[in-house]
Copies of this chain bind each other. A is one copy, B any other.
Amino acid sequence: MVNIGVDYYPEHWDESLWEKDAELMKTAGVKTVRIAEFAWCRIEPRENEFDFGWLDKAVKIFAERDIDVVLCTPTNCPPLWLYEKYPDSLQWTRDSKPIATGIRGHRCYNSPSLRRLSERVIVKLAEHYKDEPAVIAWQIDNELDAVHCCCPTCTEKFRNFVMSKYGSLPEVNSAYGNVVWSGEYSSETQIIPPLGSYELAWYNPAYMLDWFRFCKESVNDFVRFQADLIRSVIPDAKITTNTWLCDKTPDFHEMFKPLDFVSYDNYPQTKLPDDPEELYSHAFHLDLMRGIKRKNFWIMEQLSGVQGCWMPMLTTPKPGMIKGYSMQAIAHGADKVIHFRWRSAAKGAEMFWHGLIDQSNKPSRRFGEFTELCAEVRRLEIPENAVVNNKVAILYSSEQESALQIQPQTNGFHYYNQLKSFHDGLTALGIGCDIISEKADFSGYRVVIAPTLFITDENVSKRLHRFTEKGGVCVITNRSGVKDDNNGCIMSPLPTVYSDMTGCKVAEFDAVGRDSVKIKMGGSDYRVSQWCDILELCGAESLAEYAERFYAGLPCVTRNSFGEGICYYAGTIGERKFYKDLMKQVLSTAGIEYVDDLPQNVEITVRETNEEKFTFIFNNNGEQIGVEYCGENFILMPFECRVLKSRKG
């Protein structure tokens, strides 16, 4: 059954508190705890001296109360003695120097010393707990990101990565176009990480994309290395890592391949946006996480209190948020929602990232809401095999994200917002969707939305063609088909490989940035910004035209029949209602029914088994709201999530 947990740090608290805490957890309805991800210095206080006594005691206290334990490998924070003795364990900055220690996450994934000492502690840990039934899952490291380490080991590995990919220097030079600015490699020693303080866009984009790929592969390899170690001791261990959205995101799809399930650290913002155009629905991230393995996932860290620490503190979660945002996660496929953290730290830099209980150790409003949550989840009895089934997919690709980070297209243009806009349009119509890899199987979907296919993967292109030809509805956008797999420009009219599907070509474009331009679609006006493809029809019909600038009257959105299917092309980036209205047409084309009069920010999601159906109606607003759904009328309180449970006919 879906259940609720907390993150707990026995090593942060006096032992006298452990039993009291566990007792209160039990009373509140906590079923899972995650522990030990930062505890290396206690597990191995001196090199090769291990101490599991304290951890045994903690695990036992939970086990005795039927609270399951998620155990972590502690590699995020090697102890100071390790850095001191094995300085090659440190990441190097773009200044070619080791980073300063004293915070967290300083280790280089490729460091031989780090690997060797990680292996020892992981194996010891796994061996020690392999027969402990309370340990139901393993977390690798913590919030891994694809750091750009410039240490000698990484330099050497990157060089090998490049050479083994291309085979010879002439091939590398040709693939990268190194002749531009006279940068051709004449010796392998010239292949180094991007040092210096230049903006990313100053570097050769082909080289940079390979550098990003290498850095992401380093994380993947570190994950594989750890998963293999755990499985070498516990063959049937259930293993994950808790991922997040950060500056240097890993390749979620590749990173989780060797792992059993996805887990995510979910911190929805506590302040609703002032700008009604801001795309704030974190449901997008939940769908992205579910899409990685197209399976249910866990929340390993969930919003529990005031956030702060390295930033000034933010507004407290409003009444309803603690419960509502957990329910929203469950609605989108979370099988466990583990709250970060049981009690706010009294020491250390993270003390103002508040938990369910404040340092006063006096449970208050937020904890009350949490216990209500536990009770409701227990009452609902949602089986873990209740899954989310959608007919619409949005394609995500780590490649596109990196390429667009390297070369931002215009002011205000963000890859994620491209995806979020469509997700938002669908959500506004009560339609759930999956965010899946562009390399995933498209079968089962009626609509595939493929925003910003900037880097062209031939296979993806082929499969999209096939999907549409066979009757699917496909949506392609501006900045698609721009680049080949080496991040070089494809030398044919945009959207290049997609032109046949879209039935239109980009005659030219206007990168308008934060300025806006009026368009007309079906009798209504919309504002678009950032990017304006000026389209030439070659078979498609125009759905919308610009109403300003020198391209007034020319098409910006088109529809084309391709085989048995339909391909839409959106050559510009619009306001929220543009996506809602565009999605209506797309869904109608695909024969998918939608809810037209859903109040703003109310989200409808369904999880189902063969027998049962759970419909989640979530009010993601600070005010109460009346909703009519399937003939029933509800009043939803702020952030309330109403769950309708029904048996299937």
Contact = CB atoms under 8 A, between A and B. Distances in A.
Interface of A: 9, 11-12, 38-42, 45-46, 74, 77-81, 84, 94, 99-100, 102-104, 176-187, 189-190, 192, 194-199, 201-206, 271, 306, 308-316, 318-319, 344-352, 358-362, 364-366, 407-411, 413, 488-494, 507-513, 515, 550
B38 A409 contact: no
Contacts of A365: 507-508
Interface centre among A38, A81, A180 (most CB of B within 10 A): A180
Contact of A181 (B99, B313, B349, B507): B349
Given A314-B410, A319-B550, 14 more contacts: A42-B179, A80-B184, A100-B198, A177-B346, A177-B347, A180-B345, A199-B310, A201-B310, A314-B513, A316-B511, A344-B489, A347-B488, A351-B489, A362-B493
A413 B488 CA distance: 43
A181 B107 CA distance: 13
Contacts of A308: 409-410, 511
Contacts of A508: 316, 358, 364-366
Contacts of A351: 205, 488-489
Given A205-B351, A365-B508, A550-B319, A181 B38 contact: yes
A181 B100 contact: no
Contacts of A78: 182
A79 B173 CA distance: 13
Contacts of A197: 100
A586 B103 CA distance: 45
26 contacts: A41-B184, A79-B184, A80-B184, A80-B187, A102-B196, A177-B345, A177-B348, A180-B348, A181-B349, A199-B310, A201-B310, A204-B348, A205-B349, A312-B511, A313-B513, A315-B515, A316-B508, A346-B491, A352-B407, A358-B508, A359-B489, A359-B491, A360-B493, A362-B492, A364-B507, A364-B508
Interface centre among A185, A206, A315, A490 (most CB of B within 10 A): A315
A9 B490 CA distance: 18
A102 B194 contact: yes
B190 A103 contact: no
Contacts of A100: 94, 194-198
